[in-house]
Structure 1
Amino acid sequence: MPKTERGRRTLRALLNAAAEEFGEKGFHDAAISQITARAGVATGSFYVYFDSKEAIFQALVRDLSGQVKDFVGPSIAAAPNQLAAESAGQLAYLNFVRQHKEIYRIIDESEFVDPAAYREHYTNSAARIAARLEAAAQRGEISAGDSEVRAWAIMGMNVFLGLRFGVWGDEAPEAVVQEAGRLLAHGLSSPRASGEERA
């Protein structure tokens, strides 16, 4: 992280420009010269922060992961219970994706450009979800179960709902989250099959 405010602004401008460039063109067709042009900085300034196109791409993947965490985290923390937290996080994620649709292309390409960052993006997210679920189970807010399996299932749902309703569509996110929340709360069993009335 640069020590000066000016340096931090330049780094932020480069990362934002890289998100646009990689998001529009993909890794292989993106160019450092276009990243610096988008950022409004000299090409030489790029090499103060990164030594290659691969290096800024790797940094961008981790930066986007951090942005998702920072954007979604407060909504989760403010929720009154775990089921509400998952819905709040899902809604925040859908809103984030609509503002940063390029994230899907960038993360998907990272599987081939930087497999370690790709794996880290998902394993870190799953670990955070699993920790929340484990704590909620201990508080009695949700049933006990395999938190890792549940975390990956929830993350998979979030990722593909984000793709369908954040990138490809513009349906009301609240309705999407409400339906997904019912799935989390009640599963797929019908009240008749389970012998329970749905709340």
Structure 2
Amino acid sequence: MATDPTPPASAASPGKEPRTARGKATMRKLLDAAAQEFGELGFHAASISGITRRAGTALGSFYTYFDSKEAIFSALVRDMSRAVAESAAAAMTPTATGIEREREALAAFLAFARAHKEIYRIVDEAEFADPASYRAHYGGTAERITARLDQAVASGDLAPGDNEVRAWAIMGANVFLGMRFGVWDDSRPIDEITGAVSDLLLRGLARQ
């Protein structure tokens, strides 16, 4: 996936955090290889030997940082969730607020989904292979959206409302938009998609 050349040490199994730049680079290779392995084969068919072969590392290197296939899968879900959050944060301009900020966040997610289509299979499988990471991924995303909506309401850019419900609705829409226009078919310009969604958020569906 190559989202971050220096993944956080917390991605490793407890007590196996890399302490050198070389160690962090090796762990990054393993995580990127795991994204390919799990994305192509699924959790059950994927193997540690397949991951190390893709990473070009020795089998012993895997166990230097991860206890098991389950451990690196959990680390990968956390790593991808962090990468999604960071890409959205980087795409939002400091002056944007309200609907414009959600438009920028959606544009960043669509671009991320197009570049890392394996994220859908990996996160979907996490519902059963690692329920805690699955819930943390969506729960954390919803919390970030809720916080943005709270700020927009406080600044007068959005009307008051139940921002937790709004956040889950926006996230749910974004997930399926990413599937339809990021994974299944990435030919439509992102601006067209985010423009239609912004219009929906701004005007709703009822006739004006």
Q: Give the TM-score, by structure 2 length.
A: 0.90
Distance 1:79 1:30, change over 3 A: farther
Give per-residue Cα distances to partners, 1:75-122, cap 9 Å, x unaligned.
224352221110011011000000000000000000000101000000
Matched to 2:108, the amino acid is A
Q: Distance in 1 between matches of 2:141 and 2:110?
A: 15
Shift of 1:174: 1.1
Q: Which of 143, 154, 177 is the matching residue for 1:138? A: 154
2:146 alignment partner AA = A
**Which of 1 and 2 has greater Rg?**
1
Is the CA contact 1:71–1:92 (under 8 Å) kept in the aligned structure 2? yes
Q: Could you say which residue in structure 1 is the equivalent of 2:197?
A: 180
Partner of 1:93: 109
TM superposition shift of 1:180: 0.6
- Between Structure 1 and Structure 2, the one with more helix by share is 1
Counterpart residue identity of residue 190, structure 1: R
The answer as to whether partners of 1:79 and 1:88 remain within 8 angstroms in 2 is no
1:111 aligns with 2:127: yes
Q: Residue 72 of structure 1: which of 65, 88, 96 is its match? A: 88
Work out whether residues 72 and 93 of structure 1, in 8 Å CA contact, stay in contact via their aligned partners in 2: yes
Separation of aligned partners in 2, 1:45 and 1:57: 16
Q: Could you give the per-residue CA deviations for residues 2-38 of structure 1, whole angstroms, max 9, x where no partner exists? A: 2210000001000000000000000000011010011
The percent identity for this pair of structures is 54
Cα 1:188–1:29 change in 2 (3 A) is same
- Residue 55 of structure 1 aligns with which residue? 71
Residue 14 (str. 1) matches residue 27 (str. 2)? no
In structure 2, relative to structure 1, the CA distance for the partners of 1:94 and 1:79 (3 Å cut) is farther
Any idea what SS the aligned residue of 2:202 has? helix
What is the number of equivalent residue pairs in this alignment?
A: 191
- Who is 2:177 aligned against? 161
Give 1:20-31 correspondences, 5 Å limit.
Answer: 20-31=36-47
TM-score normalised by the chain length of structure 1: 0.94
Name stretches of at least 5 consecutive residues in structure 2 with no aligned partner. 1-8, 10-17
CA distance in 1, matches of 2:202, 2:125: 34
